[in-house]
Amino acid sequence: MGTYAVTGSASGMGKATADQLRAAGHTVIGVDLKDADVTADLSTSAGRSAAAAEVLKLATTGLDGAVLAAGLGPGPGDSRSRLIIEVNYFGVVDLLAAWRTELAKSGNAKVVIFSSNSTTTTPVVPGSTIKALLAGDAEKAIASVKRFGKNASAFAYAGSKIGVSRWMRRNAVTAEWAGAGIRLNAIAPGAILTPLLQAQLDDPELAGAIEGFPIPLGTYGQADQIAQWVVFMLSPAADFMTGSLVFVDGGTDALYRSDDW
Ligand code: NAI
């Protein structure tokens, strides 16, 4: 049995993953704004440092893996893009940087990052957003989507998920990660009926776009289904897997880019 840190453990897919890991006998250290083992705000650098340190303190028998599910979707408000960039991107890479040494001690650690199929289905996400993220420049990334006005947060969202996926693929194959026995993979869900998606469906400005988004299988996915994939990606079945971005999205990505892969 292993010990896993799970961010976003209080709701949706993070909670479903934490529940399934615990039911299988693993130890979970959940991180979230509330209702978690570690209560922390991942939208600030200080919050991320505190969360990372607290998890390491609680992981008395070491850390066998991590699931980075905390995140926000697009929504109204001027501060939304900032929150998305801070939590969805830096809430992943800063925590993993802080946990890398401990994960390396396991010898066979597994990390699953929550990406999204918005990475391949959102057109014209600025290259400057991704470049700024990979350079660690939050302010530049936030500024780069401002010109999209009321749609800025949708581009911040897709940018944050492309950024985190690219960070994962670049780092997965390096001496620091693969060389230390740490498998870095990401899951790219499509529309999954969680509180995050429900909030978008309840928002008159966003509902139309969500409902019009084509899903070849014809239904929304469920949090428990995605959690099963994540648990599989933490299991010995994933010993030979690193740098992979796994789409579980009802076919939307394949519909948008059948031949482009
Ligand atoms: P959710 O809203 O049910 O859960 C997200 C969790 O993240 C919440 O418990 C929330 O409190 C936590 N969180 C948000 N801001 C935080 C902060 N500043 N500090 C600490 N925790 C914070 O969302 P859901 O749908 O389960 O999403 C999980 C991940 O999957 C997210 O990264 C999301 O972007 C991604 N995703 C979701 C899709 C969907 O259709 N639901 C589709 C593709 C990706």
pLDDT in tens, 212-255: 999 999 999 999 999 999 999 999 999 999 999 999 999 999 99
**Average pLDDT of the chain to the nearest whole number:** 97
Indicate whether 91 belongs to any domain: yes
Q: For ligand 1, which residues put their CB under 6 angstroms from it?
A: 8, 10-14, 32-33, 41-43, 69-73, 87-88, 114, 116, 189, 191-192, 194-197
pLDDT tens digits, 167-180: 999 999 999 999 99
Instruction: Using most ligand atoms within 8 A of CB, pick from 194, 224, 252 the residue to mutate for ligand 1.
Output: 194
Is position 163 within any domain?
A: yes
CA 260 – ligand 1 centroid, Å? 28
d(CA 188, CA 117): 5
Q: What is the per-residue pLDDT for 205?
A: 84
pLDDT score at 229? 98
Mean pLDDT score, 129-154 = 96
Report how many domains make up the chain: 1
| Domain annotation covers residue 97 | yes
Map residue 159 onto helix, strand or coil: helix
Residue 256 forms part of a structural domain: no
Please give the distance, rounded to the nearest whole angstrom, from the Cα atom of residue 232 to the centre of ligand 1: 20
164 residue type, one letter: V
Confidence of residue 134 (pLDDT cuts 50, 70, 90): very high
Residue 78, pLDDT above cutoff 90: no
Q: Which domain holds residue 31?
A: 3-247
Going by CA atoms, what residue is nearest to atom 43 of ligand 1? 116
pLDDT at 68 over 90: yes
To the query of whether residue 157 is one of the catalytic residues in this protein, the response is yes
| Helical ranges in 59-187 per DSSP H | 80-84, 91-106, 118-121, 127-134, 138-145, 152-172
The verdict on residue 259 lying in a domain is no
Model confidence at 206, pLDDT cuts 50, 70, 90, reads: confident
Percent of the chain residues topping a pLDDT of 90:
96
Structure tokens at 82: 């900032």
Is 258 a member of any domain? no
CA 12 to ligand 1 center in whole angstroms: 7
Residue 196 to residue 148: CA distance in whole angstroms: 22
pLDDT-above-70 percentage for the chain: 100
Tokens coding 212: 């019009």
Indicate which residue's Cα is closest to atom 28 of ligand 1: 69
Residue that has been written with the tokens 């010109």 in this structure = 147
In a domain, 260, yes or no: no
pTM of the model: 0.98
Residue 224: count of CB within 10 angstroms of its CB:
13
Six token digits for residue 57: 């303190």
Sheet containing 65-68: give its strands across.
Answer: 38-39, 27-32, 3-7, 65-68, 110-114, 183-189, 245-248
For a mutational test of ligand 1's pocket, the pick from 35, 38, 72, i.e. the residue with the most ligand atoms closer than 8 A to its C-beta, is 72
pLDDT for 56 beyond 90: yes
Say what the pLDDT of residue 107 is.
94
- For residue 257, is it within any domain? no
Average pLDDT over residues 199-206: 90
Confidence tier at 50 by pLDDT (50, 70, 90): very high
Residue type, 139: E
For residue 205, the domain's CATH number is 3.40.50.720
Interval 196-224 mean pLDDT: 94
Residue of 17, 35, 117, 196 best suited for mutating to test ligand 1, as the one with most atoms within 8 Å of CB: 196
